[in-house]
């Protein structure tokens, strides 16, 4: 390819990229946004101290509404009923070495007004991920497990936000 052909090739690639971007804009393509909440304040109750799920929920909710400590001053109270991380062995060898585990994140909650009117009845979210295991790579598998729990936690927070977006006080 000569130097005279290079600018025309760049121009052609630029035109193709522009057409692709225009096509995506024309089909109403947009990045997924967090659901918009219809209330102004919320209180989180029932979480264990230093709960990573509570911290993530607080952070994501604070992007849209005020997160209050006093439940009686909030429009909505999100009450955690169960927040558990579980590990169970799914497969092992004849020598009793673990080969595969299942990680589960279980979160039960309800939402109500400070006056006690139920907005979201008891709801349980359960996420599970399979994790292969090797004792020769125990440290790497420990990090992988932590990353899987972080990913599951983000998915649970997104599901809770979607349910809260459907609430009208």
- Structural contact between residues 124 and 82, judged by C-beta atoms closer than 8 angstroms: yes
Cα torsion 150, 164, 41, 106 to 10°: value is: -40
Residue 43 to residue 159: CA distance in whole angstroms: 18
pLDDT of residue 84: 94
Which pLDDT belongs to residue 24?
A: 57
Name the residue among 71, 90, 89 with its Cα closest to residue 80: 71
> pLDDT per residue over 31-46, tens digit each?
677 778 889 999 999 9
**How far, in Å, CA of 20 to CA of 24, rounded?**
6
Q: Is the pLDDT of residue 86 over 70?
A: yes
DSSP assigned state of 39: -
pTM above 0.85, yes or no: no
> Are 98 and 89 within 8 A, CB to CB?
yes
End-to-end CA distance of the chain: 66
pLDDT at residue 25, as a whole number: 58
In terms of Cβ atoms closer than 10 Å to its own Cβ (0-12, 13-18, 19+), residue 165 is: middle
CA distance linking residue 119 with residue 164, whole number of Å: 9
pLDDT at 23 exceeding the cut of 90:
no
103-149 tens-digit pLDDT: 999 999 999 999 999 999 999 999 999 998 888 888 888 999 999 99
């Amino acid at each position: 390819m000569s130097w005279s052909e290079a600018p025309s090739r760049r121009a052609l690639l630029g035109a193709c990229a522009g057409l692709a971007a225009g096509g995506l804009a024309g089909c109403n393509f947009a990045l997924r946004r967090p659901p918009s909440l219809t209330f102004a304040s919320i209180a989180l109750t029932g979480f264990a101290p230093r709960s990573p799920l509570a911290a993530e929920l607080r952070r994501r909710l604070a992007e849209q509404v005020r997160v209050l400590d006093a439940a009686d001053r909030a429009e909505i109270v999100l009450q955690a009923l169960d927040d558990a991380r579980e590990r169970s062995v799914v497969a092992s060898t004849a020598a009793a070495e673990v080969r595969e585990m299942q990680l589960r994140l279980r979160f039960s909650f309800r939402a109500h007004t400070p006056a006690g009117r139920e907005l979201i009845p008891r709801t349980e979210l359960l996420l599970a991920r399979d994790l292969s295991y090797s004792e020769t790579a125990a440290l790497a598998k420990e990090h992988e497990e932590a990353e899987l729990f972080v990913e599951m936690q983000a998915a649970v927070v997104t599901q809770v936000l979607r349910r809260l977006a459907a609430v009208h006080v």
